[in-house]
A and B are shown apart, each in its own frame.
Chain A
Amino acid sequence: MPNTKTVYKRSEGLAKVPTSYCPGCTHGIIHKLVAESLVELDVLDRAIGISSVGCSALNYDFFSCDMQQAAHGRAPAVATGIKRVRPNAIIFTYQGDGDLASIGIAEAIHAAHRGENITIVFVNNAIYGMTGGQMAPTTLLGQKTTTSPDGRDASMGLPLRISEMMATIPGATFIQRVSVHNPQHVNRAKKALKKAFQIQKDNKGFSLIEFISTCPVNWGMTPKDAVDWAVDNMIPYYPLGVFKDKTAEEIKND
């Protein structure tokens, strides 16, 4: 076959196994971006991923690097423990909004507070996916879930903006919220993720990339409708952008 060239292939950062994700879920795209970033930065062999509890609990099988599975919410503490004894390793946690924004909020805040040189991949789909669609701290007002059947109201708490909150922590280096609802945003998201890993590679400290994600099954929508719903409802409440970048501040101050 002359004149053929590879224009697209599975990243070497992904294991050759099918994932357990539902059709239309954006976890697959985000996994791909993590894997490609590790490969392109030439750190796959020294990467250690921390799986959390939620839909991504099984992703220790999906990435091809070393992996450690963590208890619900504890991934940033597990990552801290590893990074301190293996400072040369590139450590990422992969956490959903139930895991990070609810049960694991203390671990996330204090990893940032200590300025741990780790990267958190935070996937926000405004719902508990794996357990069957319960309300999360990030569930939008009016959004119906199995534990807010009439829609969330203010008495159940207003949706928590994690990136904005984490950006107030002095120890954090880089915080950005991205989305993967179209190719343009997928590319932007990858750029953000690569920057986060580069910051870690340069020993510049804590980074968190929040991904606006979808849950067609628990939202009760088709994949297309779910993407539209995320654009129309989530992004207005969870605006995309860089919320903190100490590396840019350094350049400004120079």
Chain B
Amino acid sequence: MSDETVVSLENVEVHFESEGSILPFGGDSEVVQAVDGVSLDIPENDVVALVGESGCGKTTLGKTAIGTQRPTGGAVKYKGQDVWKANDGEGDVEIPFEEIRQSLQIIHQDPGASLNPNKTVQHSLEAPLKLRHGEMDTFERRERIHEMLSRVGMEPPEDYAKRFPHQLSGGEQQRVALIRALLMNPDLILADEAVSALDVSLRIDMMDLMLDLQDTFDTSFLFISHNLSNASYIAGKADGRIGIMYLGELVEIGPIDEVLNDPQHPYTKALMWATPNLNPKADDGGSSPLRKIDVPDPRNPPTGCKFHTRCPEAREACTGEMPDATDLGNGHEVACYRADDGHDYWSSPELADEGDELTGTADESTAD
């Protein structure tokens, strides 16, 4: 881990306006705050894992970090250069947008959809080489492609290079997608649920491969997952950080082992409760610690701390304003009033529940 920051997100906001759907509910234009003020630094040659449930904004944040999604507020900077100012040609552009674009890549979740079905592996992998290394000729490109295919365990490479995606297994397709991203020599790769669609027994292999190649190519990974076990494996092995997101906010972030061993945010604790483990003797934590099973409608999020409607520790002070991040030292931050011993929270009354516990949200229908 070095000190140089590859991508830094400064108070990023991404708001979507839904222009009224065909369906008769919802009414007119509504704003969904997919990402609501998140700051995050991604260092060189590092792994940052982002975990959260659907609707928490992790994918949107990931796409913002690689310059594919334009934020509606805040800034995204690549090595100090504001990405969108470079795109618009505003101000002093030190790093041109084309260069930025090539340095930020992606691996998608569904391996079957991430490769052009009409192109052979060879053809698909030539594209990044042509873009990034225009000086290479056909033979040099072939050699490089074969080298990479061998490196990821697809032997004999000449044979694999000529195949179409449908002739590869899911694990092989994902490895080709990984090679494609790496051949761009990127500084940051967004791995958007990159192992979630693979068989369980293949996941460790894929994550090990990603870490192995990370060193060679000097790339960072922003690893998005709804699965805490996967995220903890890859972040752990790379000695990286994990960030927990809820409804567009980053509620906790820190070095992986610290967050897992000493989770501060009640939502993080809930995620750990929900993550199944293999040890039958472990205390399975009993029933749900949450006051409500269903996630609130992102178009109408709760006031103050967005988690307060489901938080087992919620008190009245939580309904006022969203808590700022408290620095717990060692890179561990949490956005919760409980981290501050002197806060009003401790003298505030507990929240009474409306009606029965664990009722589904009565007002709006939610769309996942």
**Is this pair of chains taken from one and the same complex?**
no
A residues within 8 Å of B by Cβ?
none
